[in-house]
Chains A and B, each alone.
Chain A
Amino acid sequence: MEILRDIFGALSVPDFYFAMFRSATPVLLTTLGAMVASRSGTSNIALEGIMLISAFVGVVVSAFTQSAFVGFLGAVLAGFVISNILAYFVLKLKSNAVISGIAINTLASGGTIFVLYLITGEKGASTSLHSLKLPNVNIPVIQDIPVIGTILSGHHILTYVAFILVIVIWYMFKYTRLGMHIRAVGESPEAAESVGISVQKVKYIALVISGILTGMSGAFLSMGYVGLFSSGMTAGRGYIALATQAIAAGNAVIGMFASLIFGFCSSLANYLQSSGIPLQFIQLMPYLIIIIVYTWYCAMVERNKLKRQMNNAKKGETHVK
Chain B
Amino acid sequence: MNKKFTAVRLACAFAIAILLTVIIIFSISNEPGTAIYNLFLGPLQSKRHLFDVFASSIPLMFTGLALGLVFKSGNFSMIADASLYTGGVIAAAIAIMIPLPMIIHPIVIFIVAALIGGVIGSIPAILKVKFKANELVTSLMFNYVFFYLGIYTVNRFFVDREAGTFASLKYSPTATLGNMLSGTKLHWGFVIAIVVVILLYLLVYKTKFGYEIRISGSNPEFAKYSGINTSRVIILTQVIAGAVAGLGGAVEQLGMYQRFNWQDSPSYAWDGVIIAILSGNNPKFVPFAAFFLAYIRVGADLMSRRSDVQNELVSIVQAVLILFITAERFMAGWKQRQEAKKVLKEEA
Contact = CB atoms under 8 A, between A and B. Distances in A.
Interface of A: 45, 89, 92-96, 98-100, 102-107, 109-111, 113-114, 117-118, 123, 232, 236, 239-240, 242-243, 246, 278, 280-281, 283-284, 287-288, 290-291, 294-295, 298-299, 301-302
B144 interface: yes
Nearest to B123: A291
Given A110-B316, A280-B152, A291-B141, A117 B322 contact: no
Given A107-B319, A291-B138, A236 B144 contact: yes
A281 B327 contact: no
Interface string B302-333: 00000000101111101110110011111000
A100 B270 CA distance: 12
Given A99-B277, A106-B319, A295 B138 contact: yes
Given A106-B318, A281-B152, A93 B330 contact: yes
B149 A111 contact: no
Contacts of A114: 310, 312-313, 315-316
Interface stretch (B46-54, B94-102, B129-137): B129-137
Given A96-B326, A102-B322, A278-B156, A291 B136 contact: no
Looking at chain B's contact residues, the main secondary structure is: helix
A295 B330 contact: no
Given A109-B315, A114-B310, A92 B76 contact: no
Contacts of B131: 295, 298-299, 302
A287 to B, nearest CB: 4
Contacts of A302: 131-132
A291 B156 contact: no
B65 interface: no
Contacts of B145: 284, 287-288, 291
A275 to B, nearest CB: 15
B127 interface: yes
Contacts of B329: 92-94
16 contacts: A92-B329, A100-B326, A107-B315, A107-B319, A110-B316, A114-B310, A123-B310, A236-B141, A280-B148, A284-B147, A284-B149, A287-B142, A294-B133, A294-B137, A295-B138, A298-B134
B76 A294 contact: no
